[in-house]
A = this chain, B = another copy of it.
């Protein structure tokens, strides 16, 4: 597995261990992880701490020129909220573990110039597939579905 996707995957597994949704993310700049995070809906009763948001939050307040050198890694294709955060900060490159279990806003990101790469990682696919099968209500809540 890609070195940084592996770190996002470890974050996702940490979330699973905590009883949460197994989605992880890291924000990387100049080869260094600036922020790492995982979905904290259950752990914090949060409506906004998707993995990518948590990683961006944990990276702290950064200047625009730093974001422009970043790559965001995420185990699962980013939803419209997380894609919006990526666009707000003009993060130029996104590496996605998989989009088999959820197709996020990859087209919107690409239409605004973001370089989007999907790795179709079998471990990411299996982890998410299993969680959704066992927790359909939590998963639907997380993506705003009934």
> Which of A88, A90, A140 has the most chain B CB atoms closer than 10 A to its own CB?
A88
Q: Inside 8 A of A56's CB, which chain B residues have their CB?
A: 47-48
> Which of A46, A67, A79, A144 has the most chain B CB atoms closer than 10 A to its own CB?
A144
Q: A32 at interface (Cβ–Cβ under 8 A)?
A: no
Q: A28 at interface (Cβ–Cβ under 8 A)?
A: no
Q: In the complex the two chains form, is B60's CB within 8 Å of A141's CB?
A: no
Give which listed residue, B45, B81, B105, contacts A81 with CB less than 8 A: B81
CB distance from A48 to the nearest CB of B (A): 5
A75-105: which have CB < 8 Å to B?
Answer: 79-85, 87-90, 105
CB distance from A112 to the nearest CB of B (A): 9
Q: Inside 8 A of A63's CB, which chain B residues have their CB?
A: 141, 146
> Which of A48, A57, A63, A82 has the most chain B CB atoms closer than 10 A to its own CB?
A48
